[in-house]
Amino acid sequence: GQTWVQAIFSQQPLDNVCRYFGVKIALYFAYLGHYTTWLILPALVGLLIFLLQGHSQWCEDLCFVGFALFNTVWATLYLKFWKRTSKVFCYRWGTLEQKDDMLKDPRPLFKGDLVKSPVTGRFELAYPSWKRLLFRYFITFPIIAVCLVFVFIIMLLCFELQEWVNEL
């Protein structure tokens, strides 16, 4: 048998994984391999920043700001390259034009308005945003307010209990 798990720098047998477990599992393995490889660069930069700590506060602050900017650029590039890599695997395994689980038709009892999706450009049923806001303002926010008042009262009771214990 193949021992690809034991060989650290070997390629994953993604085609074999795809044939045995299916495309979803193979794409998951491909994602993990791609992500792990791409994490090497931020790990090295983070190690360098760790070694530079302690020289001066100004240098440390500059390194942290630089690392935050680096991570922003790194995450953007990572996503771009992952999209490209996943398309290559989807093309190889014949699932490039296959309908995604997220794009399935809504359940039959779903009631919504037919609107053009800004993501796919196709018409699909969508729940009206004014109904969502109505629910948020008249149901969610009052429940949160009641919970906050309850927690505030409990906090005041704890303060009173603490003062009573201190007087003993």
User: What ranges do the domains of the chain cover?
Assistant: 14-103, 113-167
Amino acid in position 151? V
Phi, psi (degrees; rounded to nearest 5) at 146: -60, -45
Average pLDDT, the chain: 87
The pLDDT tens digits of the residues spanning 15-30 come to 888 889 988 999 999 9
The whole-angstrom separation of Cα 29 and Cα 34 is 9
The pLDDT tens digits of the residues spanning 101-151 come to 555 666 777 788 888 888 778 888 888 888 889 988 999 999 999 999 999
> Residue 13: left (phi > 0), alpha (psi -120 to 50), or beta?
beta
Q: How many CB atoms lie within 10 A of CB 26?
A: 23
The whole-angstrom separation of Cα 104 and Cα 114 is 15
